[in-house]
């Protein structure tokens, strides 16, 4: 999968891609990322990329012609999916990342800046608008990186341990159970005893039930019909079986479980 990123700030993108998991994924050719500088296609005597908006308003608008030139300079641009990062786009989530990784289609990400980009470019070239949340960033660069990283994590072989993204929060529509490492007792707080039992099946079941409880506590909106085997009775029983210390360590001591 190849991703082209059209941006006014190539270094912002480059610096992030040059480190950690993404750098490795790129070196190992699991994913290819090419950064295309919008500035190279600036127009006119002053080499501008933006102009004041017609009809007034704050900020500058990136010109359609500049974006078109930057886009069409990319090899096979017309066969690639063009995505504009914008707060007006479709909200991005775990499933979107999974789907994009599965589709394995070459994409071009357009990063806006200032007050946005000329609507006529969007209408002519953009296949999809994507937002990473209901807030406004100064540009699409962070959003583009969020997409690249969340999609890369889903590509087989990118994460060292092939299980790591299977157990991620959201992987099964739930948040992940809390994690602990050595020492077993820290600050007078003990790790839940089941995790020290060595009983893999019991641990897996414990993690699953805890994932439900943590999700009910922190993000009840995620528990809906698509979460396959949600059984409130079973979860209530599991909750009642936990020690007060284990409830406390998971921040669920005051969880109100009731069927509605």
Q: Which of 17, 143, 145, 154 binds ligand ADE (CB under 6 A)?
A: 143
Q: Which of 52, 133, 166, 234 binds ligand ADE (CB under 6 A)?
A: 133
Establish if 10 lies at the interface with ligand ADE (CB under 6 A): no
- Enumerate residues 95-124 that contact ligand ADE by CB under 6 A: 112
Establish if 131 lies at the interface with ligand ADE (CB under 6 A): yes
Strand 2-7: give its sheet, edge to edge. Answer: 32-37, 2-7, 107-111, 81-91, 128-131
What's the closest the beta carbon of residue 109 comes to ligand ADE, in angstroms? 10
Establish if 60 lies at the interface with ligand ADE (CB under 6 A): no
Establish if 87 lies at the interface with ligand ADE (CB under 6 A): yes
Task: Please give the distance of CA 122 from its chain centroid, rounded to a whole number.
Answer: 23
Q: Which of 132, 154, 214, 216 binds ligand ADE (CB under 6 A)?
A: 132
What's the closest the beta carbon of residue 224 comes to ligand ADE, in angstroms? 24
C-beta of 7 vs 152, nearer to ligand ADE: 7
Q: Biggest alpha carbon distance in the chain?
A: 74
What's the closest the beta carbon of residue 110 comes to ligand ADE, in angstroms? 10
Q: Which of 3, 6, 85, 110 binds ligand ADE (CB under 6 A)?
A: 85
Q: Which of 140, 210, 214, 235 binds ligand ADE (CB under 6 A)?
A: 140
Q: Which of 27, 135, 198, 200 binds ligand ADE (CB under 6 A)?
A: 135
Question: Based on the number of CB atoms within 10 Å of its own CB, is 119 exposed (0-12), middle (13-18) or buried (19 or more)?
Answer: exposed
What's the closest the beta carbon of residue 38 comes to ligand ADE, in angstroms? 15
Stretch that binds ligand ADE, among 59-67, 136-144, 177-185, 237-245 (CB under 6 A): 136-144
C-beta of 10 vs 87, nearer to ligand ADE: 87
Binding-site size for ligand ADE (CB under 6 A) equals 12
Chain residues that interact with ligand ADE, rule: CB under 6 A: 85-87, 112, 131-133, 135-137, 140, 143
């Amino acid at each position: 999968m190849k991703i082209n990123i059209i941006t006014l700030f190539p270094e912002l993108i480059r610096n992030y891609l040059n480190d950690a998991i993404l750098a490795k994924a790129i070196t190992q050719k699991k994913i290819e990322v090419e950064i295309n500088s919008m500035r190279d296609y600036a127009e006119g005597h002053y080499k501008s990329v933006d102009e004041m908006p017609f009809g007034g308003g704050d900020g500058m608008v990136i010109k359609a012609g500049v974006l078109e030139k930057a886009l069409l300079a990319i090899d096979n641009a017309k066969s690639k999916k063009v995505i504009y990062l914008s707060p007006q786009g479709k909200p991005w989530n775990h499933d979107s990342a999974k789907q994009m990784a599965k589709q394995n289609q070459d994409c071009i990400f357009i990063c806006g800046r200032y007050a946005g980009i000329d609507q006529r470019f969007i209408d002519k070239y953009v296949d999809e608008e994507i937002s990473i949340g209901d807030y406004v960033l100064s540009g699409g660069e962070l959003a583009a990186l969020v997409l690249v990283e969340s999609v890369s994590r889903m590509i087989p072989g990118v994460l060292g341990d092939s299980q790591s993204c299977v157990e991620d929060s959201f992987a099964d529509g739930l948040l992940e159970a809390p994690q602990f490492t050595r020492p077993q007792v820290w600050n007078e707080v003990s790790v839940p005893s089941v995790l020290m039992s060595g009983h893999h099946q019991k641990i897996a079941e414990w993690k699953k039930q805890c994932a439900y409880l943590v999700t009910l506590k922190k993000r009840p909106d995620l528990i809906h019909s698509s979460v396959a085997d949600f059984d409130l009775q079973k979860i209530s029983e599991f909750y009642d079986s936990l020690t007060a210390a284990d409830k406390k360590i998971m921040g669920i001591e005051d969880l109100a479980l009731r069927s509605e």
